Structure 1
Amino acid sequence: MTEDQIADLASSGLLYLLGAILLILIVVKGVKIVPQSEKYVVERFGRLSAVLGPGINIIVPFIDHVAHRISILERQLPAMSQDAITADNVLVQVESSVFFRILHPEKTVYRIRDVDEAIATTVAGIVRSEIGRMELDEVQSNRSQLTDTIKQSLKEAVDDWGIEVTRAELLDVNLDEATRAAMLQQLNAERARRALVTEAEGKRRAVELQADGELYAAEQIAKARRIQADAEAYATGVVAQAIKDNGIEAAQYQVALKQVEALTALGTGDGKQTIVLPAAAIEAFSDAFGLLGGRKGP
């Protein structure tokens, strides 16, 4: 083999080697395998060309290049603490946390420089604004509603950045020592007021029950008197009916009966065995006994 042939073979082998290297470079530069948890932002001559999703992707080698590798996993910002003033001028310290993920990397990359810092600043502003519209009692009692409001406002604010806010939480609402002392004093005063109200309610209830008892007793007495009056009226009616049926003789008989009962009552007491009566009374009693004798004879 001549030297020219050797030189030709060497040049051919070199060409093959260069071709293989070039092919490998084309494959490496043109084929991109994107992990499931990421998206790639591809640029061409400094401009956005494409966003590569998970799997095998092909780009133009040496022209297109991957400029940004963006994680699409949900991430959490560190707990943030900021001061806010409520509508009733109470200074509170609010601790919050935000969970988010990137949905559109092309917006995130080209519209905002530091995503975490931007979200933290936005959350602080929204929290101060929302708490400034509420009084302290509302902040404490409506924390879930306040959280939903902050989350919705944050979603609208970061929508242009290609970010989805998955969760926003108010971890704690702290008060300064002076406010805590004032609230404790107010709580003690409220407890004392409730105790006084309870005691007053008890006394009022006792008076009502006593009045109800007296009213019930009066009703029972009135009922008994009404029954007695009905009985007397019935007796009177019986006497009247007897007088109507038997004439004056029945009336005289009733009068004589009453006179005898009165005489018997006068003679039953101690020291009352001797009774001095006028002659007219004795004559009346004689008539009464005569009537009674006449009624019993038959």
Structure 2
Amino acid sequence: MTEDQIIDLLSSNLSYILLALLLFIVIFQGVKIVPQSEQHVVERFGRLRSVLGPGINFIVPFLDKIRHRVSILERQLPNASQDAITRDNVLVEVETSVFYRITNPEKTVYRIRDVDAAIATTVAGIVRAEIGKMDLDDVQANRSQLIDTIKQHVEDAVDNWGIEVTRAEILDVNLDQATREAMLQQLNAERARRAQVTEAEGKKRAVELAADADLYAAEKTAEARRIQADAEAYATGVVARAIADNGLEAAQYQVALKQVEALNALGQGPSSQTVIVPAHAVEAFANAFTMLKGKP
């Protein structure tokens, strides 16, 4: 093989090598693989061309350039504290935290320079404005409602930046020392008032229960007397019916029976050995015994 043939062979092979190398560069420049957690902003001659999503993407080599690689993962702003004054003129320090993610990278890239600083400033202004509309007690009691309001206002403010606010949190509401002491005094006074009210209600209840017990006892006593009166009336009625049916003889029989019973009880007393009875009483007892013998 002559020298000219060797030179021609090397030139031919070099051309193929250069062509293969050029093809590899074109493929390398034209095929882009984007991770799942990112989106890439492509420019052509300094202007927005497209936004590449996750997976394999194709661009025009040497014309299109990936200028920005934007993470679409949810982000958390550093916890921020800002002072605010409530409607009842109480100075509070509010600690907040905001979570967000980028949904439209082309807006975020070309419309705002520092996303975190912009969102933090927006949140601080909205927090001050919303707390200024509420009393201190409402801030403490309606924290969930306040969080929802702040989140809604922040979403409206950052919508043009291609950002979605996923969550907003109020981590703490701190008061100055003087306000804390005043609130503690108020709390102690409220506890003392509640204790006095509870004690007074207890005494009132005790009086009511005692009155109910007295009323119940009076009702039972009256009921017992009524029953006793009904029994006496019934006995009187029985005697009256007996007299009406048997005449005067039945009445005399009842009187004689009572006299005999009284004499018997008098004679059976433990301290009685001798019983002295008047003459007319003996005659009455004799009549009673005579009537008793005549009864069946």
| TM-score after normalising by structure 2 | 0.82
Question: 2:272 is matched with which residue?
Answer: none
1:165 aligned to 2:161? no
Cα distance in structure 2, aligned partners of 1:13 and 1:248: 165
- For residue 34 of structure 2, what is the amino acid of its counterpart? V
Q: Is the 8 A contact 1:256 1:287 kept in 2?
A: no
Q: Is the 8 A contact 1:76 1:99 kept in 2?
A: yes
SS in 2 for 1:133: coil
* CA drift at 1:226: 0.9
Identity value in percent = 72
Cα distance in structure 1, aligned partners of 2:39 and 2:16: 36
- For residue 62 of structure 1, what is the amino acid of its counterpart? F
1:107-118 → structure 2 map (5 Å cutoff): 107-118=107-118
Q: Which string of whole-angstrom CA distances, capped at 9 and with x for unpartnered residues, describes residues 4-44 of structure 1?
A: 995x7787677666655544443343222222222111112
Cα distance in structure 2, aligned partners of 1:5 and 1:287: 183
Question: 1:188 is matched with which residue?
Answer: 188
Q: Which string of whole-angstrom CA distances, capped at 9 and with x for unpartnered residues, describes residues 127-150 of structure 1?
A: 223323332223223323322332
Cα distance in structure 2, aligned partners of 1:54 and 1:110: 21
* CA drift at 1:286: 7.9
Cα distance in structure 1, aligned partners of 2:152 and 2:73: 21
Q: RMSD over aligned Cα, in angstroms?
A: 3.5
* CA drift at 1:291: 5.0
* CA drift at 1:66: 1.4
Cα distance in structure 1, aligned partners of 2:213 and 2:64: 99
Cα distance in structure 2, aligned partners of 1:91 and 1:56: 55
Question: 1:296 is matched with which residue?
Answer: 292
Q: Is the 8 A contact 2:83 2:91 kept in 1?
A: yes
Question: 2:59 is matched with which residue?
Answer: 59
What are the ranges of 5 or more consecutive residues in structure 1 without an aligned counterpart?
none
Question: 1:38 is matched with which residue?
Answer: 38
Cα distance in structure 1, aligned partners of 2:254 and 2:283: 12
Stretch moving more, 97-106 or 129-138 = 129-138
Q: Is the 8 A contact 1:253 1:291 kept in 2?
A: no
Cα distance in structure 1, aligned partners of 2:4 and 2:35: 52
Stretch moving more, 188-197 or 124-133 = 124-133
Cα distance in structure 1, aligned partners of 2:3 and 2:191: 114
Cα distance in structure 2, aligned partners of 1:82 and 1:209: 57
Q: Which string of whole-angstrom CA distances, capped at 9 and with x for unpartnered residues, describes residues 48-92 of structure 1?
A: 110011222211122221121111122111001111222333221
Q: Is the 8 A contact 2:256 2:289 kept in 1?
A: no
* CA drift at 1:260: 8.9
* CA drift at 1:211: 1.2
* CA drift at 1:288: 5.0
How many residue pairs get matched? 288
Q: Is the 8 A contact 1:79 1:95 kept in 2?
A: yes
Q: Is the 8 A contact 2:253 2:292 kept in 1?
A: no
* CA drift at 1:109: 1.2
* CA drift at 1:229: 0.2
Q: Is the 8 A contact 1:105 1:162 kept in 2?
A: yes
1:217-228 → structure 2 map (5 Å cutoff): 217-228=217-228
* CA drift at 1:225: 0.6
1:82 aligned to 2:90? no
Cα distance in structure 1, aligned partners of 2:55 and 2:263: 131
Cα distance in structure 1, aligned partners of 2:83 and 2:150: 15
